Structure 1
Amino acid sequence: MSDFAELLIVNARVLSPGTTRSGLSTIAVSGGKIRGVEADEGPASWRGPDTRIVDAAGASVTPGFSENHMHLFSGAAELDHLQLKGVSGLDELTAAVRQYAKGRDEQKILFAQGADYTLLGETDRLTRHDLDKISPDQGLILFAPDHHTAWANTRALELSGLLEGKQLRPGNEIVMGADGLATGELREMEAFSPVQAAGGFGRYRLGLSTGGEPDPRPTAAEWRTDMDVMRLGLDYCARHGITTIQNMDGNLYQLELLAAIEEEDGALPCRVMIPFHFKNFMSVDMLEKASEMAARYDSDFLRSGVVKVFFDGVLDSWTAVMVEPYADRPDYCGEGLFTAEQFREVAVEADRRGLQIAVHAIGDGAVKAVLDGYAAAREANGVRDSRHRIEHIEVVHGSDIPRFAELGVVASMQPPHPPGCMGVPLEPTVSRIGRGRWPLSYAWRTLKDAGAHICFASDWPVSPISPIHGMHAAITRTRWQESDPDQSFSLPEALEAYTVEGAYVEFREATKGQIKPGFLADITILSHDLEAIDPTDLTSVRPVMTICGGRITFSEK
């Protein structure tokens, strides 16, 4: 191999966790790794006739961002859906839907994303009758930003066989009206998955809805379409400076698509982890499939080895599991998708197999049950460096805070999610939680100070994907009341949560997540010097180049 570097990034203001540098530096890249980082221009021996020179122009150069909780396949497919962020009131909704519907007469069901729970105000919730006024003959379904509640019109309910209701497993609900028919509100995946399937969107949601494989097997044309959708998602991530994707839904089909793209294109633009999604209707012997996926896919760019579980739902639809009742439903604590006993059995078996576990747990009751399951796995299988995860942790009980560090559990949290951050309305969430629980809601700082590892993410397409906007949300977060603890992060802490902590939760902190010699050349070049601008202006910053494994995967130029 030539002594010359393949790529030199000059005039770089290196901003990397664990590294203190002043002035400008040059970063040398060869063979997919960082060869060296030196002050000024670096040694002359780095520069050869074929070396590509990239001028960072004094802006921050960071490790490539690790998006530690997202939904790649469905998120990519949703880019073509009607986006309703900011839409308020029936008139605005009507105008948006009818404009979107033009030229889409052939679609059985129109899909819209980002409908706020308070779209009709803080007390009124959408019904099928509201949506029938907008689209009486064509199916229409609107999804809340959290993707845990949807509202369908009568035609969509008829097409999916839900108008007269359907028996569902615990934690899912088709809200029924006094007339004995569905109101149109569908809570959790089992309730709205039939509408997605009827509208031709089911394949993109299989990793979430069933964890199973397409049946029948997609045709050659459908396979090519799905590869293109996956490519769209990968490129969208690269444009936002992302070099690692930790997907949080999965099946074998997604792995096969990504492997085909890697073979056809020569490389993937991002490193991707796809888990096995364990659902509450599965038996623990299904974890053999998770082990098979882990053994088959374990490269630097494409891997499995994680079991994803949904323990509960979300606060806004009362489907999160709480220790004490909801503040606005004093007789109700929520119903889990798993019982504590069911989850304990899954955790013990997955841990015995050496698999990592990642569990969606939003309410403090769900978090407690998941920690209990991880403790049971330790007791049954012995202590190991498992780095099991809990996703979201929107409310945590005070007694459980030290257990994260004690059990070695990683807190995977989302800066765009707290009400008041990134335009998320305060209601109905803060009233649903209740003032007494506010101090331990979205408690990033509290958990970090107690010794927990914290990794950040967007949960895209639930929230905007940009890690920079996520850092802005983490740094500028304000209290709901003065007596609440300050949960905000500093710039170095927020960057760490999107880089080296992402590497840590993947067991790869020795090879990625930092800009230092010998590490993988996953690098993001930004438009500004992050340390030189006011934190409130962070949203003006954008990636201008993304490099993954030494290969430029996005460039503005």
Structure 2
Amino acid sequence: MQAHGISRRGFFGAAFACTAALGTTSLPAFAAEETGTTFILRGGKVYTQNPKQPWAEAVAVSGKKITAVGTNAEIDALKTEGTKVVELDGRLVMPGFVEGHTHPFLGAFLTSGLNLQLPDLDAVLAAIEAHAKANPTGPIRGFGWRVDMFPPSGPTRQLIDKIIPDRPAYFFAVDGHSLWANSKALEIAKIGKDTPDPVPRFSYYARDEEGFPTGYALEVNAVLQLVNAVQPISPDAMAGLMIDWLPGASAAGITSLFDAGVPPIGADQATVLSMYTTLDKQGRLPFRVVGSYIVKSPPIDDAVAELKKINASVSSELVNVSVMKIVGDGTQEGYTAWLVEPYSDRPDFRGGSPFSTEDWIKLVGMSDAAGFDVHIHACGDGTARMGLDAIEKAIAANPARERRHTIAHLVYVTEEDIPRFRPLGVNAQFSANWFSADPDTLINMKERYGERQQKIYRAKTALEAGGRISFGTDWPAAGYFSTYKPLDSIQIAVTRQLIGNPNNPILHPVSERLTLEQAVHANTLGAAWQIRLDDKVGSVETGKFADLIVLEKNIFEGDVYDIASTKIDLTLMNGKVVHGTA
């Protein structure tokens, strides 16, 4: 299967051998399950997320499960020979974080190049030049430049050509939706004046007045076509980069996640997703995974059949692929988000979706009929509305069932559509690390949205309308500074400010600041509900899996500006230590 001429191999497509490559890596297995190790965590504060018992002092763990939650005395009475006692000394215990939308494979690859998360364009160009001098041969790649460094027309190849004229160079934007490439990269990829855009007006190559590509590629189909030709990644590299990231995820307290789409396209998705099951079967996967089959553009006829195939073939104790991910639009910065009303700085343009209205209704309807939840990328309010409309039609057409459809990102949602989430049972998924008053949000988003910019990222309003919310960083496309750490998102959700300085500007409306309790819920039980794991994880309750984190201090009693810098001392997943020392 191909999409717009992009090979199934190519960019990440060489991952057919990735499962074998995993077998050669050196990541150690976690403690063997059969030891039946029992832990007691005592002498601290336990924030349970259980409304019947919001706080406790201690927790008992036996094997994979939580066996008791209560006072120190109650839990001490359960100590037996061989029990490992963790003295909390006032530290905080919480459920492990559940990431409701992230991209581990893509993040591990994109962030492995030159880091361009720098203050301005001069610093970016200086970093590219220094890196090129230090690496005089081969392609150069990097990640992290921001659209606010350039005019609305985007970056140009000539800026890189002055530094790197004779070999390919390409750099992913921090939002993960666009690419900046030099002339040599375009030449190798055979992208010129007469090259058709993969998805006109949605995934395309920006062009100058004469029609030549400027070096600015927008959205995944165009980006993949270029990178696929210049530097396909090897299976060993794919496996190694992913494994290198795993300890960071555990150190961030992530014990479950929703993979919102792996890099390859078409039928190759199963190959990369199976890397999770291989790690699980080797005892080396430190979190639970709910995966998705991602649909970026038509054709859609085989999508449900492909998801059924992957759901049946890629499965293990910790891994389940059961969600239809629909990339409904792009981003406001690149004018690829689909809006209800036109862009303020392009009054004749509303953006668009790669799917027709008929495609939307068919894809959501047949996914729902097959019993799969849909997860819709919707930065624009037009896409959010279309997603709600399609879900509403699916509910009317298909038999009743417990649905947990999700619409993700929700940069801006109209006043008419926010109240629709609750009666339709649709979860509102936010990347709270985007909620900061950073230069991109204050400048570009103001230019794109005008007065609408004063009503973006309204998670609190969604809750007040009776809806459900969940958090997920969308790493690597994870805010002004890319992050996969839930505590970063939680602090920004509570403050609506960039991390680093309490005097940083606050994103309006200030009334949309969440309480810490609301933000933590969104990154634990809220996200667990989204991916149908709420009966297993997301709260500290007897009978649930022992997915627990120990924070060095109680963030509920400290300064909200210290949340992100709080260290996680211990992470348990399935009752096993995956980070820290018990």
Same fold (TM over 0.5): yes
Which residue does 1:213 correspond to in 2? none
Q: CA deviation at 1:103?
A: 5.0
TM-score when normalising by structure 1: 0.90
| Residue 378 of structure 1 pairs with residue 395 of structure 2 | yes
- What is the CA–CA distance in structure 1 between the aligned matches of 2:73 and 2:54, rounded to whole Å? 14
Q: Is this contact kept in 1: 2:118–2:124, CA < 8 A? A: no
C-alpha spacing 1:130/1:43, structure 2 compared with 1 (3 Å): closer
Question: Which shows bigger deviation, 164-173 or 332-341?
Answer: 164-173
Q: Is this contact kept in 2: 1:154–1:163, CA < 8 A? A: no
Q: Is this contact kept in 2: 1:66–1:242, CA < 8 A? A: yes
- What is the CA–CA distance in structure 1 between the aligned matches of 2:346 and 2:121, rounded to whole Å? 26
- What is the CA–CA distance in structure 2 between the aligned matches of 1:278 and 1:24, rounded to whole Å? 44
Q: Is this contact kept in 2: 1:165–1:176, CA < 8 A? A: no
- What is the CA–CA distance in structure 2 between the aligned matches of 1:5 and 1:231, rounded to whole Å? 25
Aligned residues between the structures: 532
| Residue 345 of structure 1 pairs with residue 376 of structure 2 | no
Which residue does 1:433 correspond to in 2? 449
- What is the CA–CA distance in structure 2 between the aligned matches of 1:555 and 1:403, rounded to whole Å? 43
Identify the match of residue 7 of structure 1 among 32, 39, 49. Answer: 39
Q: CA deviation at 1:17?
A: 1.6
Matched ranges for 1:366-515 at <5 A: 366-420=383-437, 425-435=441-451, 437-463=452-478, 464-477=483-496, 484=509, 486-515=511-540
- What is the CA–CA distance in structure 1 between the aligned matches of 2:105 and 2:132, rounded to whole Å? 23
- What is the CA–CA distance in structure 2 between the aligned matches of 1:130 and 1:226, rounded to whole Å? 30
Q: Is this contact kept in 2: 1:326–1:333, CA < 8 A? A: yes
Q: Is this contact kept in 2: 1:65–1:467, CA < 8 A? A: yes
Matched residue SS, 2:368: helix
Which residue does 2:546 correspond to in 1? 521
Matched residue SS, 1:284: coil
Identify the match of residue 155 of structure 2 among 126, 137, 158. Answer: 126
Deviations 1:189-232 (A, max 9, x none): 1112122213324x5xxxxxxxxxxxxxxxxxx54443322222
Matched residue SS, 1:287: helix
- What is the CA–CA distance in structure 2 between the aligned matches of 1:482 and 1:523, rounded to whole Å? 32
Identify the match of residue 174 of structure 2 among 118, 129, 145. Answer: 145
- What is the CA–CA distance in structure 1 between the aligned matches of 2:349 and 2:406, rounded to whole Å? 27
- What is the CA–CA distance in structure 2 between the aligned matches of 1:154 and 1:389, rounded to whole Å? 40
The root-mean-square deviation of aligned C-alpha atoms, in Å, is 2.5
Which residue does 2:30 correspond to in 1? none
Identify the match of residue 302 of structure 2 among 273, 281, 285. Answer: 285
Which residue does 2:7 correspond to in 1? none
Q: Is this contact kept in 1: 2:148–2:440, CA < 8 A? A: no
Q: Is this contact kept in 2: 1:343–1:373, CA < 8 A? A: yes
Question: Which shows bigger deviation, 489-498 or 11-20?
Answer: 11-20
Q: Is this contact kept in 1: 2:94–2:550, CA < 8 A? A: yes
- What is the CA–CA distance in structure 2 between the aligned matches of 1:43 and 1:484, rounded to whole Å? 45
Which residue does 2:64 correspond to in 1? 32
Q: CA deviation at 1:319?
A: 0.5
- What is the CA–CA distance in structure 2 between the aligned matches of 1:482 and 1:257, rounded to whole Å? 39
Q: Is this contact kept in 2: 1:419–1:427, CA < 8 A? A: no
Q: CA deviation at 1:508?
A: 2.3
- 1:271 counterpart letter in structure 2: R
| Residue 230 of structure 1 pairs with residue 261 of structure 2 | no
Matched ranges for 1:169-318 at <5 A: 169-170=199-200, 171-201=202-232, 222-250=234-262, 251-264=269-282, 266-318=283-335
Q: CA deviation at 1:267?
A: 4.2
Q: CA deviation at 1:260?
A: 1.6
- What is the CA–CA distance in structure 1 between the aligned matches of 2:128 and 2:53, rounded to whole Å? 51
Deviations 1:321-363 (A, max 9, x none): 0111001111110121112221110011111110111010111
Matched residue SS, 1:275: strand
- 1:495 counterpart letter in structure 2: V
- What is the CA–CA distance in structure 1 between the aligned matches of 2:111 and 2:95, rounded to whole Å? 27
Question: Which shows bigger deviation, 526-535 or 274-283?
Answer: 274-283
Higher RCO (CA 8 Å, separation ≥ 6 residues): 2
Q: Is this contact kept in 1: 2:96–2:547, CA < 8 A? A: yes
- What is the CA–CA distance in structure 2 between the aligned matches of 1:352 and 1:64, rounded to whole Å? 33
Q: Is this contact kept in 1: 2:296–2:328, CA < 8 A? A: no
Deviations 1:403-439 (A, max 9, x none): 1111100111011113516x7552211221111x235
C-alpha spacing 1:224/1:117, structure 2 compared with 1 (3 Å): closer
- What is the CA–CA distance in structure 1 between the aligned matches of 2:85 and 2:55, rounded to whole Å? 19
- What is the CA–CA distance in structure 1 between the aligned matches of 2:115 and 2:506, rounded to whole Å? 32
TM-score when normalising by structure 2: 0.86
Question: Which shows bigger deviation, 178-187 or 463-472?
Answer: 178-187
- What is the CA–CA distance in structure 2 between the aligned matches of 1:419 and 1:528, rounded to whole Å? 25
C-alpha spacing 1:4/1:481, structure 2 compared with 1 (3 Å): closer
Q: Percent identity?
A: 27
C-alpha spacing 1:322/1:262, structure 2 compared with 1 (3 Å): same
Deviations 1:227-283 (A, max 9, x none): 32222233221111000110100320122211222223x241011122111232323
- What is the CA–CA distance in structure 2 between the aligned matches of 1:356 and 1:247, rounded to whole Å? 14
Q: CA deviation at 1:12?
A: 2.6
- 1:429 counterpart letter in structure 2: M
C-alpha spacing 1:183/1:462, structure 2 compared with 1 (3 Å): same
Identify the match of residue 378 of structure 2 among 350, 358, 361. Answer: 361
C-alpha spacing 1:504/1:482, structure 2 compared with 1 (3 Å): closer
